[in-house]
Structure 1
Amino acid sequence: MAQNRARILAAARRLVREGGWQEGQIASVAAAAELATGTVYRYFPSKAALFAEVLAIVSQREVNVITEIINGNGSPTERLHGAVRTFVERAMRNRRLAFALIAEPCDREIDEARLVWRFAIGQEIVRIVEEGQRSGEFRSDLHANVAAALIVGGFMEALVGPLSPLSPNLDKASPTALALADEIGDICCASVIQSLSVGHADK
Structure 2
Amino acid sequence: MAYRETERGKARKEKTRQQILQATAELVDASGFRLVQMAQIAERAGIAAGTLYRYFASKEALFADYFRRATEQEVRQVAAALQEPGQSSERVEAGLRVFARRALLKPRTAWALIAEPVDPAVDEQRLRYRQRYARLFEQVISFGIDHGELPHQDARLTSTAMVGALAEALVGPLAEPPAQNETTIDHIIAFCLAGLTRKEYPQ
Fold conserved (TM > 0.5)? yes
Which residue of the partner structure matches residue 180 of structure 1? Answer: 184
Which residue of the partner structure matches residue 93 of structure 2? Answer: 81
Shift of 1:24: 2.4
One-letter code aligned to 2:22? A
Q: Work out whether 1:95 is the aligned partner of 2:99.
A: no
Contact 1:137 1:194 in 2 (8 A): no
Q: Aligned partners of 1:184, 1:124: CA distance in 2, in Å?
A: 19
In structure 2, the residue corresponding to 1:192 is in which secondary structure? helix
One-letter code aligned to 1:58? A
Q: Aligned partners of 1:71, 1:89: CA distance in 2, in Å?
A: 17
Identical counterparts, % of pairs = 34
Q: Work out whether 1:48 is the aligned partner of 2:52.
A: no
Shift of 1:91: 0.4
TM-score, normalised relative to structure 1: 0.89
Which residue of the partner structure matches residue 167 of structure 2? Answer: 156
One-letter code aligned to 1:154? A
Shift of 1:23: 2.5
Asked which structure has the greater RCO (Cα within 8 Å, sep 6+), the reply is: 1
In structure 2, the residue corresponding to 1:73 is in which secondary structure? coil
In structure 2, the residue corresponding to 1:45 is in which secondary structure? coil
TM-align CA RMSD: 1.2
Deviation digits for residues 88-138 of structure 1 (CA, Å, limit 9, x no counterpart): 110011000000100000000010011111111111010111011112222
Q: Aligned partners of 1:138, 1:188: CA distance in 2, in Å?
A: 13
Match runs of 1:1-203 below 5 Å: 1-140=13-152, 142-163=153-174, 167-168=175-176, 170-171=177-178, 174=179, 176-193=180-197, 195=199
Q: Aligned partners of 2:117, 2:163: CA distance in 1, in Å?
A: 19
One-letter code aligned to 1:49? A
Q: Aligned partners of 1:122, 1:66: CA distance in 2, in Å?
A: 11
TM-score, normalised relative to structure 2: 0.89
Contact 1:15 1:29 in 2 (8 A): yes
Structure 1 residue ranges, 4+ long, deviating more than 6 angstroms after superposition: none
Query: Which residues of structure 2 form unaligned runs of 5+?
Result: 1-12
Deviation digits for residues 149-183 of structure 1 (CA, Å, limit 9, x no counterpart): 100000000001112xxx34x22xx2x21111122
Shift of 1:25: 1.2
Q: Aligned partners of 2:198, 2:87: CA distance in 1, in Å?
A: 13
